[in-house]
């Protein structure tokens, strides 16, 4: 049995029929002159009711496709009706008149404060006087007083407070005129103070009248600098107000600071101990002390540098001691013990390549995989590039592994720094083809 009710199935079929007929207005139940808010409300209602997520994990028994088509059609109808151009095209295709917006309702006019009603009734041909007649509903206080109480109406005319215009033909009053004499020269429009014309200055003469004089050589005085108001000295009371009270240390912060101080002190102690061990040439102990100092104070580069130097020296000494033991074991044909010591020397990564070369030779003698021996020969050659013995061994193992081109390269390299090496010449001839 389907999870949809009979009413839901009937409603789905009705919506699908409306979508097939493309009657979008009937789909949302909207009039032709709807507004945007009505469209949004109808769209959100339908899309919320028929969203596929509402029917998740329900037995729809073949109505899944119909539900998807209806939901897609609702979205398409909303897209068309929301867009003015698409809506107009839809109306033309459906043979509907072009839909427009609703007419805005007329707003009521504000009251003028004289007792007039908020909205005037249109006149019926009586003229303007009929529309201004007071309404019977207006309060008596808003009506104008009768004519008898107003007093006589003043005659119309100009206000008595204003001066009347003079009659025609009256001469204008005399204006003050400039005294006779030569006209002053015109003032230049250039800026003053750079050798140009100076502005006129009025100076009194002997009679007391002011005469305009021109001084071309006078330079304008610079404007006086404004004095900055001096700040008042702060008294002891203001200084006390400015100082913030010192907050007591947080116990957790104080504990962390104490731990950091202890670590730094340990780092300094280990560093001093390492320096003392360097003077005694105890490289392994010195490397250990510098290592601990760098761990307790990781930001100190001097500790790290000292540790690297002492560690390199210590490893070289350990590698040399392991090589001595391996050579002795190999001289007694104890190849197993020799292999152990050579591997220990290789782990120290010494600067020379003898440890790798001896280990590779023992591996070939013991019949181990030639790839391991090849890797050790390569490292030995990398450590000492101009050692002909190491390169000859590398070239020979290349030949055994049928890598003629690599073998020829190694033989040719030997001839570059040892041209008279007979084995290298023979190897070049063998691997040339």
pLDDT confidence bin for 410, thresholds 50/70/90: very high
Beta carbons within 8 Å of 404's beta carbon, 6+ residues apart: 398, 431, 433
Across the chain, what does the average pLDDT equal? 76
Mean pLDDT of 304-331: 93
More confident residue, 306 or 5: 306
Return the CA Rg of the chain.
56
Q: Residue 49: what pLDDT?
A: 85
Please say if the pLDDT value at position 140 is more than 90.
no
How far is 48 from 78, CA to CA, in rounded Å? 13
Please say if the pLDDT value at position 391 is more than 60.
yes
Mean pLDDT of 377-382: 95
Mean pLDDT of 224-232: 64
Q: Are 410 and 395 in contact (CB under 8 A)?
A: yes
pLDDT confidence bin for 215, thresholds 50/70/90: low
More confident residue, 329 or 64: 329
Beta carbons within 8 Å of 76's beta carbon, 6+ residues apart: none
Tell me which residue of 334, 280, 283, 324 sits closest to 306, measured CA to CA.
283
How far is 387 from 379, CA to CA, in rounded Å? 12
Range from 110-114, 173-177, 241-245, 368-372 carrying the lowest mean pLDDT:
110-114
Find how far residue 305's CA is from the centre of its chain.
Answer: 39
How far is 81 from 32, CA to CA, in rounded Å? 10
Q: What is the pTM of this model?
A: 0.41
Q: Are 274 and 310 in contact (CB under 8 A)?
A: yes
* Burial category of 249 from C-beta neighbours within 10 Å (exposed 0-12, middle 13-18, buried 19 and up): exposed
Q: Residue 236: what pLDDT?
A: 55
Q: Residue 119: what pLDDT?
A: 40
In the chain, % of residues over pLDDT 70:
64
Beta carbons within 8 Å of 287's beta carbon, 6+ residues apart: 274, 307, 310, 311, 313, 314
How far is 381 from 222, CA to CA, in rounded Å? 85
How far is 325 from 322, CA to CA, in rounded Å? 5
Distances (CA, A) of 262 to 251, 267, 268: 17, 9, 10
Mean pLDDT of 22-44: 86
How far is 139 from 33, CA to CA, in rounded Å? 42
**pLDDT tens string 337-364:** 999 999 999 999 998 999 999 999 999 9
Q: Residue 104: what pLDDT?
A: 41
Q: Residue 94: what pLDDT?
A: 81
pLDDT confidence bin for 118, thresholds 50/70/90: very low
In the chain, % of residues over pLDDT 90:
38
Distances (CA, A) of 133 to 69, 130, 148, 379: 65, 5, 19, 119
Tell me which residue of 53, 64, 45 sits closest to 4, measured CA to CA.
64
Q: Residue 250: what pLDDT?
A: 84
Q: Residue 70: what pLDDT?
A: 86
């Amino acid at each position: 049995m389907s999870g949809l009710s009979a009413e839901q199935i009937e409603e789905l079929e009705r919506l699908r029929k409306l979508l097939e007929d493309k009657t979008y207005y009937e789909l949302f139940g909207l009039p032709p002159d709807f507004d945007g808010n009505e469209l949004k409300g109808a769209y959100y209602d339908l899309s919320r009711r028929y969203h596929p997520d509402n029917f998740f994990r329900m037995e729809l028994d073949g109505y899944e496709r119909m539900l998807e088509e209806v939901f897609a059609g609702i979205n398409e109808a909303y897209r068309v009706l929301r867009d003015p151009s698409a809506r107009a095209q839809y109306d033309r295709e459906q043979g509907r008149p072009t839909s427009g917006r609703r007419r805005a309702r007329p707003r009521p006019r504000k009251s003028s404060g004289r007792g007039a009603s908020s909205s005037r009734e249109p006149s019926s041909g009586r003229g303007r006087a009929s529309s201004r007649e007071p309404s019977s509903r207006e309060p008596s206080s808003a009506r104008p007083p009768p004519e008898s109480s107003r007093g006589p109406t003043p005659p119309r005319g100009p206000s008595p407070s204003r001066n009347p215009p003079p009659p025609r033909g009256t001469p204008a009053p005399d204006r003050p005129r400039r005294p006779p004499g030569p006209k002053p020269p015109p003032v230049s429009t250039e800026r003053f103070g750079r050798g140009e014309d100076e502005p006129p200055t009025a100076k009194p003469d002997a009679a007391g009248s002011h005469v305009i004089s021109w001084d071309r050589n006078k330079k304008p005085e610079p404007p006086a600098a404004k004095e900055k108001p001096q700040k008042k000295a702060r008294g002891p009371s203001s200084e006390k107000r400015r100082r913030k009270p010192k907050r007591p240390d947080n116990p957790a912060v104080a504990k962390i600071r104490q731990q950091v101080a202890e670590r730094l002190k340990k780092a300094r102690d280990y560093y001093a101990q390492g320096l003392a061990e360097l003077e005694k040439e105890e490289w392994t102990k010195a490397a250990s002390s510098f290592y601990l100092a760098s761990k307790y104070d990781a930001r100190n580069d001097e500790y790290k540098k000292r540790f690297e130097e002492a560690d390199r020296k210590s490893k070289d000494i350990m590698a040399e001691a392991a090589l001595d033991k391996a050579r002795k074991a190999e001289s007694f044909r104890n190849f197993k013990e020799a292999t152990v010591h050579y591997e220990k020397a290789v782990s120290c990564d010494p600067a020379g390549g003898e440890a790798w070369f001896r280990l590779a030779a023992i591996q070939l003698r013991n019949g181990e995989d030639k790839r391991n021996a090849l890797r050790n020969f390569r490292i030995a050659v990398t450590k000492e590039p101009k050692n002909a013995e190491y390169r000859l061994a590398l070239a020979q193992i290349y030949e055994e592994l049928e890598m003629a081109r690599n073998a020829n390269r190694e033989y040719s390299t030997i001839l570059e720094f040892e041209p008279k090496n007979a084995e290298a010449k023979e190897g070049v001839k063998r691997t040339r083809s």
